[in-house]
Structure 1
Amino acid sequence: MAIKVFNSQVYSNPYQKLLYTAIESRYQLASGSLSQAITLQRLHKHSLYHIHWEESLFARCTTTARAVRVRQEYVRKLKHYVALGGKVIWTLHNVKPHEWRFVQTLVSLRKELAALSHRILVHNQTALSTLQAQTGLTSLSTVRVLPHPAYFDVYEPADQTIALAGRPPKHPRMLLHFGLVRAYKGIPDLVQKLPEEFMVAHQLTLHICGKPVRADSFLNDLLAQTQSRSDIKYSLDNVPVAEVAELLRSHAGLILPYHKVLTSGVAILALTLGVPIVAPDTSAMRELFPESSYILLFNPRSTKDLRRAVLTLVDMSAETRMRIAQDCIKKALAIRPELISKILGEIYDELLGLTGGNEGHSSITAIHAPFVDIFPNETPISLQDQRQASRDRIAPQHLPPLLFRLISEDMAMVINETKSDSAALSNQHLAVEFAIATLASNVTRSTVSADLILNNTKKDVNKFTIEQARLDGAYAVRLYKNIMSALETADDKADTADAGDK
């Protein structure tokens, strides 16, 4: 009999259903309250309570004082549930509430959830830094990266999705903003950055398609401000499921103007369908999309770069469109629903002390296989080949955490001040850059060449190996320390050899 997994919040979108695609014989998605989870725990002595979109807890609160009381009562009951032996899973979805209400109260709640949860799930590496910044979590031993599943077989059969990906659009100069129309998505800002004179000059139109969540004042103002613009088309209603895929493929591509998000369902949908998307150049988007589509990422602080990305989209060749589509499909297949579902099932199994069913322990085994001898060749290989080797060995959802990016932005964190030798200092910079370039695929603009690394380290760095490690902060720290240790050993030997020569 399938175990009910009470989800704190269940929405009608396909996301949660996809999570149970491959494990429904063992785990049943259930919409239930914390009180129901407590009752189930008392009866059966083992249960799971999965927290999603915790900001919904404050949906009916009108004052901060009320939100604080709701949080306190919820945490009290959650502690009681844990004391009874219940297992808590929390998925971090957003940076902040979409409507930006009771932010500080939410951060306080997240700190408490981080302490109480047996497993914390994030969709990408970018979310790890957000999690740590907001909760102060020092150990990531309870954290797992569980990517948002792709939307294969949701809007159309997967075979059809793959077959039609990359075909020329019916409306090659029409941009599509798709999804629920909400204030946080930045539509007013988008129409200002793409003024009528720009759109008309390049024969462009913008199609804003989706149902408003509510009659927000921003939408009324937006409609009033753009009523005379012939370059903007509105379709403010739900799109039938059977028409979604074709709608997206019929446009030049999607446009995603908002950037303060960790995960975007629309971005995942574009990836699944192989539809090009103009999106903000953030670490989350670089982690999600293939490198061939990076030409469509724009600096969210630059109107000029947004326009550059839009023109790149509408003017791209058929060959480029096809290459991006194929690369997107490959990335989407790596997060296909059945694989992500199996991984979630194994996380549940682990918490309940179960061996699991035949649905697949191979998923976890493959992902957590030891990353040993990643550069096996005796002769030096190019940095480009090293990057490709790392991508072939490491699953996209299990790349090293963003600590590498943070280190690269603040070299003072890793420079050994006791060393005065300029070559040793250069080696440390190069070690960090080497780790970023070869392992963190979301950083692709390294200027360091393999020859420069070899010249400065005086050793062949291709023999570095990577220990198997959990997806936590220690992964990045340990890898960095291993590289630094190897470089220091090389420097010591080189200094010894120099001293001998003298």
Structure 2
Amino acid sequence: MRVLHTVYPPSDQGNPFASLLIDALSEKTDSSYFSWRAAFLERWDVVHFQWPEKYFVAGNPLVSLAKRLRFRVWMRLLKWRRTAIVLTIHNLATHEDPGKAAAAELARLDRRVDRYVALNPAVDMAGLAAPVDVIPHGHYRSLIPDTARAPSSGRRILYFGFIRAYKNVPGLIRAFGASDLSGRGYDLRIVGKPHTPVIAADVQSSAEDATGQVTTLLKALNDNDLYREITRSSVVVLPYADLYNSGALLMALSLDRPVIAPRTPATEYYQSQFGVDWVLLYDSPLDESSLESAVASVKDAGERAALELGSLDWPVLAIDYLRTYQVATTHVGRRHRR
């Protein structure tokens, strides 16, 4: 079976989700990273979409139009070739408004999907145009060398990851500054690249105004430096306004760091999977009292049961993905026999 994944080869600062999946599938499928040459000139049994918004959106309106037209031609070619389409649901909604034209293209793609993959069951499956298979997000432990682990610096609260508006990082800084956590020996560390200069300025000014020890490193880090930042912390906080799926949550757990996150159907699922010692939930909005309460609930490493992530090994998950691909190709055949 030949599968084209709509992601580019990995970089040292990219999201490793897709590369871990493709590596795990390599013994079972002929899986390839994306290129437009491969998309148009080669035949595939399945095209597996991840984060499709990138195909429709650009800073220039004319470039955006050209990208949408190219995508429509490709979709017609996939239909003619009877190629199955699988789409992973990474988010329940786009985090930034892509515009009406791009939204229309996303809707057009949805009508062509043969099978969805949901990373957890907190999805309105009845509202989707095709059946859904729940295949959880795998862990990252196979990527992490022992040399990239740093000793914990004690009472450090960490936010890491790309900084977008919905992630509420300035709100976390303000909640920390208003709390008494600094007086109890905690410091707050913010690591990640802001999405816009406006967000960067908001984070920096919030940090400068905060009472207590707040440090920032507002740039993307290579993998090993990121692992060291995480392992220096005692707990990771995800102050998002809402959360469905989070690679940061799985990354923190892969490095044996507990996570504080907002209470949502998805995070309640993660808490049921990993336990209350590893996933600690607060009721939004995040403020000083909810942050203090969550941090106070974090147990020392010696008091937590070891976190077992064997069910999230990528070779195990690859078996489920292969089954999804097989069902999707069968659906295409039935659709074209009607």
Give the TM bin, normalised by the shorter chain: 0.7 to 0.9
Aligned to 2:98: 102
Equivalent pair of 1:20/1:29 in contact (CA under 8 Å) = yes
SS of 1:198's equivalent in the other structure is coil
Question: Displacement of 1:203 after TM fit?
Answer: 2.6
**Which residue pairs with 1:77 in the alignment?**
74
Q: Which runs of 5+ in 2 are unaligned?
A: 331-338
Compute the displacement of 1:204 (Å): 1.9
Runs of 4+ in structure 1 off by over 4 angstroms are 65-73, 103-107, 349-353
Q: How does 1:386-405 map to 2 (within 5 A)?
A: none
User: Is 1:299 paired with 2:286?
Assistant: no
Deviation at 1:269, TM superposition (A): 0.9
Instruction: Name the CA distance, whole Å, in 2 between partners of 1:187 and 1:317.
Output: 25
Q: Is the 8 A contact 1:17 1:29 kept in 2?
A: no
Counterpart Cα distance in 2 of 1:255 and 1:344: 31
Q: Could you tell me which amino acid in structure 1 is paired with residue 133 of structure 2? A: R
Match of 1:9, as an amino acid?
Answer: V
Q: How is 1:97-496 mapped onto 2 (pairs within 5 angstroms)?
A: 97-98=94-95, 100-102=96-98, 105-126=101-122, 128-129=123-124, 132-133=126-127, 135=128, 137=129, 140=130, 142-156=131-145, 170-196=152-178, 198-210=180-192, 212-227=193-208, 229=210, 230-289=212-271, 290-293=274-277, 296-303=280-287, 304-313=289-298, 316-320=299-303, 322-323=304-305, 326=306, 329-330=307-308, 332-352=309-329
Give the counterpart of 1:48 among 46, 49, 74.
46
Q: Are residues 310 and 293 of structure 1, via their aligned partners in 2, closer, same or farther at CA, if it must alter by over 3 Å? A: same
Conservation of the 8 A alpha-carbon contact between 1:280 and 1:297: yes
Tell me by how many angstroms 1:254 deviates: 0.4
Unaligned runs of 5+ in 1: 354-502
Structure 2 counterpart of 1:394: none
Q: Is the 8 A contact 2:139 2:251 kept in 1?
A: yes
What percent of counterpart residues are identical? 19
- 1:31 to partner: Cα distance: 1.5
Separation (CA, whole Å) in 1 of partners of 2:81 and 2:222: 44
CA RMSD of aligned residues (A): 3.2
In structure 1, distance between residues paired with 2:152 and 2:49? 42
Distance 2:63 2:72 in 1: 14
Cα deviation for residue 248 of structure 1 reads 1.9
In structure 2, relative to structure 1, the CA distance for the partners of 1:29 and 1:262 (3 Å cut) is farther
C-alpha displacement at 1:89, in angstroms? 1.5
The secondary structure found in structure 1 opposite 2:4 is: strand
Is the contact between residue 67 and residue 102 of structure 1 (CA under 8 Å) also seen in structure 2?
no
Of 174-183 and 340-349, more deviation after overlay is shown by 340-349
> SS of 2:144's equivalent?
coil
- Shift, 1:306, TM fit: 3.0
Q: Give the conservation status (yes or no) of the 8 Å contact 1:151–1:337.
A: no
The equivalent of 2:21 in structure 1 is 19
CA distance in 2, matches of 1:215, 1:112: 29
- Which digits, 9 at most, give the CA deviation of each residue in 1:311-330, with x for residues without a partner? 322xx35553x22xx2xx22
Letter in 2 for 1:189: G
Q: Distance in 1 between matches of 2:100 and 2:244?
A: 18
Give 3-state SS (helix, strand or coil) of 1:274's partner.
coil
Q: TM-score if structure 1 supplies the norm length?
A: 0.57
CA contact (8 A) 1:6 1:31 kept: yes
**Among 9, 19, 23, the residue aligned to 2:7:** 9
Which residue identity is paired with 1:119? Answer: R
TM-score normalised according to structure 2 size: 0.81
Q: Distance in 1 between matches of 2:20 and 2:279?
A: 30
What is the deviation of 1:275? 1.0
Q: 1:272 to 1:246 in 2, by over 3 A?
A: same
| Shift in CA distance, 267/73, structure 1 to aligned 2, threshold 3 Å | same
Larger Rg over CA atoms = 1
Measure how far apart 1:132 and its partner are: 4.7
Structure 2 CA distance for partners of 1:337 and 1:263, relative to 1, 3 Å: same
Aligned partners of 2:164 and 2:204: how far apart in 1?
Answer: 14
Q: 1:170 to 1:143 in 2, by over 3 A?
A: closer
- 1:9 and 1:31 in contact (8 A); partners too: yes
Code of the residue aligned with 1:14 in structure 2: it is: P
Task: Report the AA paired with residue 277 of structure 2.
Answer: S
Task: Check if 1:87 corresponds to 2:76.
Answer: no
